[in-house]
Amino acid sequence: MARLFGPLLAIGILLLDQITKYLVTEILFRSALNVGATESFVGWILNPPERLGPVTLVLSPFLNLTMVWNSGISFGALGGGMLGDYSNLILIVGTLVIAAGFALWMMRSIRVVEIIALAMIVGGALGNLTDRVRFGAVIDFLDFYWENAHFPAFNVADASISIGVALLLIHGLFFAKDTG
């Protein structure tokens, strides 16, 4: 069972990411825009609907849900076709290669914190990869801000990747024993 912990956590993060994207886009945004019938989660996964246009739901003085289609990588970097006509294909292949490398590292690791961090990275990468394959872009919707300063929109997968990387760095810098 211990060997399955990392892959199961990664799959759980992938599912959490996709479920939150479904709930926000299909339940909240489509209702707000009054467009199209809401699909079931399985229907949404199997038959990607048309991309939604711009919509923002204000939740608090510092958080909006805002529909953003991210064609780049984290926080929109390399977006807008900066990689040319094959941008999406390049990002799909690159994500697969990097996620496979992290998954292999995860499967070989014996450190619990490292396994959790790597599972978070792999699960997040697979969540965004799923969007990229289905829609040609990643669904971002969390918009944190203070007054007029907005942090780039992101999603559960992005948060998982960021937390996983931070855990790896903190663990590696401060807690991992020197094996050399």
| Active-site choice (17, 131, 140, 143) | 140
Percentage, residues of the chain above pLDDT 70: 90
Within a domain: residue 180? no
Within a domain: residue 10? yes
State the pLDDT confidence band at 95, using cuts at 50, 70 and 90. very high
Q: How many helices (H) and strands (E) does the chain have?
A: 6, 4
**Count of beta carbons in the 10 Å neighbourhood of residue 168:** 20
The stretch 106-129 carries a mean pLDDT of 97
| Active-site choice (17, 131, 143, 158) | 158
State the pLDDT at residue 81: 57
**Count of beta carbons in the 10 Å neighbourhood of residue 24:** 22
Q: Tens digit of pLDDT for each residue in 50-67? A: 899 899 999 999 999 999
Instruction: Give me the domain span that covers residue 41.
Output: 2-175
Query: In the block, which residue shows the tokens 């903190």?
Result: 170
Known catalytic residue at 158: yes
Number of domains comprising the chain: 1
Known catalytic residue at 85: no
Query: In the block, which residue shows the tokens 């048309």?
Result: 50
State the average pLDDT for the chain: 90
Residue 83 has φ and ψ, to the nearest 5°, of -95, 10
Within a domain: residue 27? yes
Q: Is the pLDDT of residue 79 over 70?
A: no
**Count of beta carbons in the 10 Å neighbourhood of residue 66:** 19
Q: Tens digit of pLDDT for each residue in 19-53? A: 999 999 999 999 888 887 778 999 999 999 989 98
